[in-house]
Homo-oligomer: A and B are copies of this chain.
């Protein structure tokens, strides 16, 4: 068996840092670094909801995702210059929004929209899962301010949420937290979004010109759980005092 190009164990995450209060203007602002992938995650609270929700007394969370042109090895054309958002970007921003909404009590925040902006300034694989993990922290900080200002009865974040990628790489097998080089050559790629109670929120497994068996699926899920637990430890540390307010339903269990 070959070893991973960056020397990691197959079930080892890359180094993770979450820097809070990264920018001064947003209600929640985080710079998350996973290996060489760096994403700025900002949360904005807006005092209204999209038209389809008006009058229901309920909030909404929506996400936008973008990459700086030179986040990547070779320069990628700006979507603003192209005049449209690519399919990949739309898929990612729908995923981020959906995932975050699953752990927030939208009724409790009233008619507000939380905008999540994930801007990848440097990319080395896993930008969408890194965005979710970082966005969870930015969102929690923003909702923490709302909670204090409005004196909400319960903290609106029900439990922790983090995301990682797992995959199957030739000559190595199942690996956790793929970097760009691994991701490019993986036959199977799976993004897992999980809560602190071990429940799945999103599971997106894809065999690009390849397939995977149920046995492989179970191994992939097992590696994912290992990563998710560690990511949540970093989230808790970054949130500081706020960490305990989040309704932790329990440990990651099977």
- Using a CB–CB cutoff of 8 Å, the interface residues on chain A facing chain B are 23-26, 29, 36, 40, 42, 44, 46, 64, 66, 68-73, 75, 78-91, 93-94, 98, 101-102, 106, 115, 117, 119, 121-122, 190, 195, 197-214, 217, 221, 254
Contact = CB atoms under 8 A, between A and B. Distances in A.
A24 B122 contact: yes
What copy number does this chain have within its complex?
6
Instruction: Please report whether the interface of chain A is mostly helix, strand, loop or mixed according to DSSP.
Output: mixed
Nearest to A202: B206
Nearest to A90: B87
B200 A71 contact: no
Contact of A207 (B24, B42, B93, B200): B200
Given A40-B68, A80-B89, A198-B214, 16 more contacts: A25-B70, A25-B71, A26-B70, A29-B70, A42-B68, A42-B70, A70-B117, A80-B85, A87-B91, A102-B211, A195-B211, A197-B211, A202-B205, A203-B203, A203-B205, A203-B217
Contacts of A221: 214, 217
Given A23-B122, A213-B198, A69 B42 contact: yes
A135 B75 CA distance: 16
A211 B196 CA distance: 11
Given A94-B87, A119-B68, A200-B217, A75 B208 contact: no
29 contacts: A23-B71, A24-B36, A40-B68, A42-B69, A64-B69, A66-B78, A68-B117, A78-B117, A79-B80, A80-B89, A87-B87, A87-B93, A88-B94, A91-B91, A91-B94, A101-B209, A102-B207, A102-B210, A102-B211, A190-B203, A198-B214, A200-B207, A200-B213, A201-B206, A201-B207, A202-B206, A203-B204, A203-B217, A204-B204
